Amino acid sequence: MATPEQRLAHWRANLRVLSTLLVIWAFVSFGCGIFLADALDGIRIGGFKLGFWMGQQGSIFVFVGIIAYYVWRMRKLDRQYGVNED
């Protein structure tokens, strides 16, 4: 069983991970998909402009990667702070 200090440290580590991933999510979805789309259109992937591709497909790949990373990282943090459910 985790102590209150361990739970607090775990929660702070969780918030750091979440904050970082939310910044990445915002940059990819709003930055690459909307605000930087015109600048990215000079690059082509598979015949499609990168700005269009990021708005349509690339952001989805990044979001799935974010989810996978979050699961991996939280399992590691859970074990580190003794709050895992195993």
In whole angstroms, what is the distance from residue 31 CA to residue 5 CA? 38
What mean pLDDT comes out for the span 67-83?
94
For residue 77, the number of C-alpha atoms closer than 13 Å in the C-beta half-sphere is: 19
Tally of domains in the chain: 1
The answer to whether position 21 is within a domain reads yes
Q: Which amino acid is at 25?
A: W
pLDDT of residue 86 exceeding 80, the answer is no
The answer to whether position 63 is within a domain reads yes
The answer to whether position 47 is within a domain reads yes
3-state secondary structure of 7: helix
Q: What is the pLDDT of residues 2-26, one digit of tens each?
A: 788 989 999 999 999 999 999 999 9
The answer to whether position 86 is within a domain reads no
Q: What is the pLDDT of residues 48-74, one digit of tens each?
A: 888 888 888 888 999 999 999 999 999
The answer to whether position 8 is within a domain reads yes
In whole angstroms, what is the distance from residue 62 CA to residue 85 CA? 28
Q: What is the pTM of this model?
A: 0.82
Cβ atoms of 41 and 52 within 8 Å: the answer is yes
